[in-house]
Amino acid sequence: MIGAFTYAPPDTPLDVIHVDSALLLVNKPAGLLSVPGKAAEHADCLESRVKTAHPPALLVHRLDMDTSGIMVFAMNRASQRHLGLQFERRHVAKTYVADVWGQVDGDKGEVDLPLITDWPNRPLQMVCHERGRHALTRWRVVSRHDGWTRLHLFPHTGRSHQLRVHMRALGHPIMGDRFYASGAALAARDRLALHAEVLELYHPEGGQRMRFVSHCPF
């Protein structure tokens, strides 16, 4: 079961990576919701902060509250539709950095396990071969350390909590993951060690392939 949680988002300035007539890319800090929660005390979120500074901005996708890194917003409805289709058709390439517990065998691989919401324990997700939706994550070792491994993760699909559940299923939970890690793996970090580092997409106006980077803060 999930323990009690107090929402205390970081009070940091908006970190804009890129802005033009169609796109706005920002670096979301860990601990900040992407969109407002249902409770009044969960109103502060990246979307509201972005709209305060850039009123035309429109949401395109989300990151978990505990995950940091790149999020893209559209600056008009046409760009929002264009970007939404890119995500839907998997034309967007994403690279995450994850520090996982233990020594991962091999230098690269993939986790191909279907996922579904664990309804009695939502928002947790779980592997379910009978009713789960297809989910594929490719991974590659970046570096090995005493008791942990740094990976690059390449999600082919975009299921909720996909990287977190897949790493636990691999036997190497992401350190600091309050949902899917426990014991020493949970205590090893004071935040979820997962960061959306690279995002590649086609510009909605002109179609140029663009690559954006947000360097890992941990």
Span 173-189, pLDDT tens digits: 999 999 999 999 999 99
Reading the block at residue 181, the tokens are 């890690």
CB of 154 within 8 A of CB of 139?
yes
Rounded to an integer, what distance in angstroms lies between the CA atom of residue 160 and that of residue 173? 16
CA distance 73 to 9: 20
Phi, psi of 115 (to 5 degrees): -125, 150
Summarize pLDDT for 57-101 with one digit per residue, the tens: 999 999 999 999 999 999 999 999 999 999 999 999 999 999 999
Q: 65, 125 in Cβ contact below 8 A?
A: no
The C-alpha atoms of residue 95 and residue 75 are separated, in whole angstroms, by: 23
For the chain, the average pLDDT equals 96
Q: Which residue has the tokens 């860990």?
A: 30
Strands 115-117 and 125-127 turn out to be antiparallel
Local confidence band at 123 (pLDDT 50, 70, 90 cut-offs): very high
pLDDT at 129 over 80: yes
Asked whether residue 1 carries a pLDDT value surpassing 60, the answer given is: no
Q: What is the pLDDT of residue 2?
A: 59
Please tell me the predicted confidence (pLDDT) of residue 3: 58
Cα–Cα–Cα angle for 121, 97, 192, rounded to 5 degrees: 40
Q: What structural domains does the chain harbor? A: 16-90 (3.30.2350.10), 96-194 (3.30.2350.10)
Q: What is the DSSP letter of 202?
A: E
**Concatenated DSSP letters of 58-90:** EE-----TT-EEEEEEESSHHHHHHHHHHHHTT
Quick check: 5 pLDDT over 90? no
Percent of the chain with pLDDT over 90: 95
Q: What is the pLDDT of residue 69?
A: 98
DSSP letter (8 states) at residue 132: P
Rounded Cα–Cα distance for residues 135 and 163 (Å)? 9
The pLDDT value given to residue 70: 98
Residue 44 confidence (pLDDT): 97
CA–CA dist 191, 104 (Å, integer): 21
Q: What is the pLDDT of residue 4?
A: 64
Q: What is the mean pLDDT of residues 120-137?
A: 96
pLDDT, position 106 = 97
Q: Which of 1-5, 30-34, 121-125 has the lowest mean pLDDT?
A: 1-5
Q: Identify each DSSP E strand in the chain by its residue range.
A: 16-19, 23-28, 58-59, 68-74, 93-101, 108-112, 115-117, 125-127, 136-145, 148-155, 194-202, 209-213
Catalytically active residues, by annotation? 64
